[in-house]
Amino acid sequence: MTELKQSQQSDAGLAEGIKGWFMVLLTLAFLVLYGLALLGKLRPLTDASMVTRLEPLIFVIIGYYFGRLPGEENEQTLKNEIGRQTHRADAAQQAKETALQSREALDEKIKNARTALDNVTTERGSIETAFHILSS
């Protein structure tokens, strides 16, 4: 069970790493294109309508990836908190079950002790009756 959980965590870590590198590469690509445009090495598009169509798409892509970072971080923090709370609840449940088992064991010991004392009292009464019969 723990091997499955570890493999899932390593898969999730690998996916996060790939996402991170993809975002870095995307950012670098846009920075290179911007730098080339500033230096005049990149030929501007001749049709202005094409630029007006591409500009919102580029902003949406960049905004999505950079806007998603805080959301993913928050989501991971909440998942970790849920995991900690679940672990605490499991530990509390285990402690409760252990306490109940201990209580049942102590109740059984008390019951056995009372039975033993009742047997001793009954035997004592029998011995006293036998002494009484013998002394009369």
Highest mean pLDDT among 13-17, 112-116, 118-122: 112-116
**In the prediction, which pLDDT does 72 show?**
81
Indicate whether 26 belongs to any domain: yes
Going from the C-alpha of 119 to that of each of 106, 108, 125, 129, 132, the distances in angstroms are 20, 16, 10, 15, 20
Indicate whether 55 belongs to any domain: no
Backbone angles phi, psi at 95, to 5 degrees: -65, -40
Indicate whether 17 belongs to any domain: yes
Kindly tell me if the per-residue pLDDT of 107 is higher than 80: yes
How many independent structural domains does the chain possess? 1
Indicate whether 24 belongs to any domain: yes
Domain that holds residue 23: 11-43
Indicate whether 123 belongs to any domain: no
Indicate whether 107 belongs to any domain: no
Indicate whether 21 belongs to any domain: yes
Kindly tell me if the per-residue pLDDT of 5 is higher than 70: no
Kindly tell me if the per-residue pLDDT of 78 is higher than 90: yes
Indicate whether 110 belongs to any domain: no
> pLDDT tens for residues 15-57?
878 877 887 888 788 788 877 777 777 776 666 676 677 778 7
